[in-house]
Amino acid sequence: MTAHLGTTPPERRTWRRRHYLMCRPDHFDVVYSINPWMDPKKPVDTSLAVLQWEQLRDLYLSLGHTVDLIPPLPGLPDMVYAANGATVVDGRVLGADFRNHQRRPEGPAYLAWFRENGFTELREPLHVNEGEGDFLVTDSFVLAGYGFRSDARSHLEAQSFFGRPVISLELVDPRYYHLDTALAVLDGDEIMYHPQAFAPASREVLGRLFPDALEVSAADAAVFSLNAVSDGLNVVIPEAAGDLPVHLRERGFRPIGMDMTELLKGGGSVKCCTLEIRH
């Protein structure tokens, strides 16, 4: 982490235009609790959630990315968390199958969107998997979380469908119930993560595969700083992040903080609202 202190940060040349799918939180609310962040007794300001979401979408557009929208469905207050809707690698779409009944109808809705938008290699999932909530793609691997939501059997399913090595990682802290709340891909095979969110053996795996990873503090993890979206240069993070922006700058990234407080009431932030379509 201190390797770049006092020297010029490395230049980032691997920025790429990205293609994202998002879902406007018109029906966002917290009426049930399926993760420790959700408290149905706390009031939710849906129009503020829409405003924060629009700022995130506008930021992606201003950075040169493409943003497609899936129509939000009434009665699905968590549908804004598009990352959970599917996993797309090399144009292949692995559908999601949600653990909790409240979100189950989102799986077919997202898969239908891909079918209607010209994707032909689609797979209806055999095992519970919550899309990019638990599948994160680096250049060499698909990193896959289990322990709270996705069924570990979905990892083999993803490996055969995508033809990429899948690395299973066990999550142990209920606050970090999806992999994308504890780990983010910054660029290529460069990642950042919060070690304490993982079982000891998974920590060891991460240490071996990613010896240069940025390890993120408990304080930064607790404000959802790891729920980040990177295009290889710009790293979009919740604005509540503490030290993380400094460490990202040392590595040559450009951190951009966004106010996502309303969407955090559902247990999601920047990454949760963003599904990446990889062609």
Contact set with ligand ARG (CB under 6 A): 34-35, 38, 78, 81, 83-84, 103, 133, 178, 180-181, 266-268, 272
Among residues 155, 178, 194, 247, which one is catalytic? Answer: 178
Residue 273: active-site member: no
Spell out the long-range contacts of 209-218 with Cβ–Cβ below 8 A and sequence spacing 24 or more: 209/141, 209/167, 214/1, 214/186, 214/190, 214/247, 214/248, 214/251, 215/1, 216/192, 216/244, 217/242, 217/243, 217/244, 218/194
Side by side, the strands of the sheet bearing 166-170 are 135-137, 142-146, 166-170
Q: Which residue, 12 or 24, has its beta carbon nearer to ligand ARG?
A: 24
Side by side, the strands of the sheet bearing 229-230 are 229-230, 234-238, 254-258
Q: Which residue, 34 or 166, has its beta carbon nearer to ligand ARG?
A: 34
Using the structure block, give the residue that is written with the tokens 């699905």. 76
User: Dihedral, CA atoms, 122, 152, 183, 187, nearest 10 degrees?
Assistant: -40
Count Cβ neighbours within 10 Å for each residue of 57-76 and write b for 16 or more, e otherwise: bebbeebebebeebebeeeb
The DSSP secondary-structure symbol of 232 reads S
The nearest distance, CB 31 to ligand ARG, in angstroms, is 11
Among residues 65, 155, 247, 272, which one is catalytic? Answer: 272
Q: Which residue, 132 or 231, has its beta carbon nearer to ligand ARG?
A: 132
Alpha carbon distance 24, 273 (integer Å): 9
The nearest distance, CB 123 to ligand ARG, in angstroms, is 20
Alpha carbon distance 97, 184 (integer Å): 22
The nearest distance, CB 25 to ligand ARG, in angstroms, is 11
The nearest distance, CB 85 to ligand ARG, in angstroms, is 9
Q: Which residue, 190 or 276, has its beta carbon nearer to ligand ARG?
A: 276
Q: Which residue, 251 or 265, has its beta carbon nearer to ligand ARG?
A: 265
By the 8 A CB rule, do 97 and 118 touch? no
The nearest distance, CB 265 to ligand ARG, in angstroms, is 9
Alpha carbon distance 182, 164 (integer Å): 22
The nearest distance, CB 267 to ligand ARG, in angstroms, is 4
Q: Which residue, 78 or 187, has its beta carbon nearer to ligand ARG?
A: 78
Residue 23: active-site member: no
Q: Active-site residue numbers?
A: 178, 272
